[in-house]
Structure 1
Amino acid sequence: MTRRTPPFSRSAPARPGLWRRFKRLFAVKTKFEAFLVIYALATGAVERGFGYVHRLPGASGWLMFAACTGVVFIAGGKILDAVERDEHDRDAGLDML
């Protein structure tokens, strides 16, 4: 008779498919999902930028606002490039997930 381990104990064997499915929940797979992430980043950047405008008087507040929102363009480009590269790899049969 084999001894069963509790489902959440440290000695329980890990199911390899479970972590793969869990990891795919947090992967941006389509351009639509990428645009949603970029929109969320932009909304947060504008909110933070307005906070700087209210806290810092004059040009320094607006400079920080521009820096916050400018970073979204850089990050958005990187996210879109990564999604396009992943789509190309998937089409070519080089999918790693």
Structure 2
Amino acid sequence: MARFSTLFLALVIASPALYATFVTHQLDVETGLLRLLVAVPVAAVMLAVFRLVTRDYGRPGDRPKGPATEPPGDEEPLRAEAVAGEPFPQRRAEDAH
């Protein structure tokens, strides 16, 4: 929980309260530091969820090697054709009036 990224994110989250505490003096020191203290576990949970979601991203062992697998059974693969037609007619500025 005391990683640099966690503490930095907590500082970013609590920065409005710290600004109001130390610059504009609108909050008490205890209140500003308490908000920073609350922001640390919130930032730790946010980064833990982010790490959980992105932990398998980009690992080379997850990609299948070789050609694509054949479809099971007697099913034929889907085939698509490109249809060539006339392009949309271009409109000139004089035609819009």
- Alignment TM-score, normalising by the size of structure 1: 0.38
Which of 1 and 2 has greater Rg?
Answer: 2
More helix by share: 1
Q: Which TM-score applies when normalising by structure 2?
A: 0.38
Q: Which of the pair has the greater relative contact order for Cα pairs under 8 Å at 6+ separation?
A: 1
